[in-house]
């Protein structure tokens, strides 16, 4: 009888698994940066109600107002990146999938900014340095995905 009671309470004695330890320091740093960036995106939309100009820029896209097509696009990207960072930092089960979608969207947006925008704006081709972080970010998330997903069952 005593053994049965002990076996039922063994699950409370287990050390909680921290998925955040799977993330390297640079992803942890960017998680905080993008969570703050998401808050600033929401704040810029609110501020733009009271002031005429709010300068927004991300991935080579820029706007002077939050209530334009590009401004809303930038704010949406910032909020999504913040959501991905929040999911990773707070160890959500689907965080790796969200982070990978974030990385792929970032690469696609950078490619558009590099190769399409110069033709639209009569500018010159420009390499986006964000690509140098988005690709390793995706690769690292891909590498830790199996362990992240299977830590729950331990």
Q: What is the DSSP string of 67-134?
A: TSHHHHHHHHHHHHHHHHHHHHHTT-TTHHHHHHHHHHHHHHHHHHHHHTHHHHTT------TTHHHH
- Say how many domains are in the chain: 1
Phi, psi of 57 (to 5 degrees): -155, 135
Tell me, yes or no, whether 7 lies in a domain.
no
Q: What is the mean pLDDT of the chain?
A: 86
The pTM of the whole model exceeds 0.85 = no
Tell me, yes or no, whether 144 lies in a domain.
yes
Tell me, yes or no, whether 93 lies in a domain.
yes
Low-confidence ranges of the chain (pLDDT < 70): 1-17, 152-154
Q: How many helices (H) and strands (E) does the chain have?
A: 6, 2
* Structural domain span for residue 136: 24-149
Strand partners, 61: 58
Looking at residue 15, its pLDDT comes to 57
Exposure string over 24-37, b if 16+ CB within 10 A, otherwise e? eeebeebbeebbeb
Looking at residue 66, its pLDDT comes to 87
Tell me, yes or no, whether 8 lies in a domain.
no
- 19 vs 5: CA distance, rounded Å: 30
Measure CA 35 to chain center.
8
Looking at residue 145, its pLDDT comes to 92
């Amino acid at each position: 009888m005593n053994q049965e009671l002990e076996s039922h309470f063994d699950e409370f004695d287990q050390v909680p698994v921290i998925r955040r330890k799977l993330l390297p320091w640079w992803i942890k740093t960017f998680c905080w940066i993008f969570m703050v960036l998401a808050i600033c995106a929401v704040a810029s939309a609110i501020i733009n109600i009271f002031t005429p100009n709010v300068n927004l820029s991300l991935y080579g896209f820029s706007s002077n107002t939050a209530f334009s097509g590009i401004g809303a696009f930038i704010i949406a990207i910032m909020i999504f990146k913040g959501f991905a960072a929040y999911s990773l930092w707070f160890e959500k089960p689907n965080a790796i999938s969200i982070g990978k979608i974030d990385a792929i969207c970032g690469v696609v947006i950078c490619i558009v900014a590099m190769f399409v925008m110069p033709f639209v704006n009569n500018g010159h081709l420009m390499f986006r340095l964000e690509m140098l972080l988005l690709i390793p970010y995706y690769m690292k998330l891909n590498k830790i995905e199996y362990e992240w997903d299977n830590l729950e069952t331990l």
